[in-house]
Structure 1
Amino acid sequence: MEHVTLKVQGMSCDHCVRAVEGAVKELGAAGKVDLAAGQVNVQFDPAVVSLDKIKEAIEDQGYDVVQ
């Protein structure tokens, strides 16, 4: 398992948290949003899903991954 912290812009409420965490979960990874820090802590198995796919899923929800 790998752990990464992604800086994400545009998250501001509980809906944002659910959207981002849900998108990450659908890929078979685990994500925990820290709204105050504007970050998402992600735990994933690179054999199952790539970091690029995780970033893409977050951006598909309307947020900008800046790291």
Structure 2
Amino acid sequence: MKEIRLTVEGMTCLHCLKTIESALKEAGFTGKANLENREVVYYGKGTTEELSKVKETILKKVINQDESSTRIAFK
């Protein structure tokens, strides 16, 4: 397992952080979000398919929680 880091632009509050951590858990990944540096760290294989799944899962969960959350973007 590798440590994978994603910068999540638009993660601005504790609600976002908790929603993102919940999305990771539901997708079967172990990870944490850091609000201060707007970063998500999870553990996985690091494949392109896996990264796409993580991003899609986070986006779906955040948008379902708050329709105005379409401001979330990954770098």
TM over 0.5: yes
Shorter-normalised TM range: 0.7 to 0.9
Identity, in percent, stands at 34
Where in structure 1 do 4 or more consecutive aligned residues deviate above 6 Å?
Answer: none
Greater C-alpha radius of gyration: 2
Which runs of 5 or more structure 2 residues have no equivalent in the other structure?
Answer: 64-71
How far residue 51 of structure 1 moved from its aligned partner, in angstroms, is 1.6
Bigger helix share? 2
Please give the root-mean-square deviation of Cα atoms over the aligned residues, in Å.
1.7
Q: Show the counterpart of 2:14.
A: 14
Distance in 2, matches of 1:26 and 1:2, equals 19
TM (norm. structure 1) is 0.81
**Number of paired residues?**
64
Which runs of 5 or more structure 1 residues have no equivalent in the other structure?
Answer: none
